[in-house]
Amino acid sequence: MPPWLDASRLRSAELDLRGAQALHRAAARPLLTRVLALCSRLADGPLRVALILLLPWVGPAGRQLALLMLLLGAVDLALYYALKRSTRRRRPFERCGDIHACLKVPDAFSFPSGHTLHAFAFALLLSSFHPALAPLLWSFAVLVGLARVVLGLHFPSDVLFGALIGIGTASLLLQLA
């Protein structure tokens, strides 16, 4: 690797770590930590599964949306696991002594943030069918991403790339549908 490229990569990693440390300082506020932990737990998956199970009862549009959500979830999960296994990036609390995990982690690796990936993907998909819910859905997705960093589980770049991947896969699925 050329020295200038390696130096740039190291600067980016340092900036990412400093961002994680700065945002994690907010975890010192117990009420904020509880709210963000709730957002993170809601994004774990059961909420999406419940929605997928309930949507078909709404009618034909609900059935179509449930099918798209299932397809999107499968695509995102495959991409997520492929990236997790190939990058094997350690989590912030493992790399920095002043960051601690405020929640139990679902797997060993940090990149990308699966919670953020799924939250942004489903926000785009659901808001395309129900535009009136867009502010709520997008606000929730942003809170999920923020929660993952504040709670010490991810670096800002994990969340950023998770959001971009989720938006990308949902956009592609909507184009194909």
pLDDT tens track for 119-151: 999 999 999 988 999 999 999 999 999 999 999
Q: Which domain holds residue 167?
A: 3-176
Domain harbouring 120, CATH code: 1.10.606.20
pTM of the model: 0.89
150's CB contacts (< 8 A; 6+ apart) are 23, 24, 26, 27, 32, 33, 36, 102
Into how many domains does the chain fold? 1
Separation between Cα atoms, residue 164 and residue 112, nearest integer Å: 10
pLDDT tens track for 67-77: 888 888 889 88
Tokens, residue 140:
């929730």
Percent of the chain with pLDDT over 90: 45
Q: What confidence category does residue 4 fall into, taking pLDDT thresholds of 50, 70 and 90?
A: very low
User: Which residue, among 41, 5, 10, has the nearest Cα to 153 in the 3D structure?
Assistant: 41
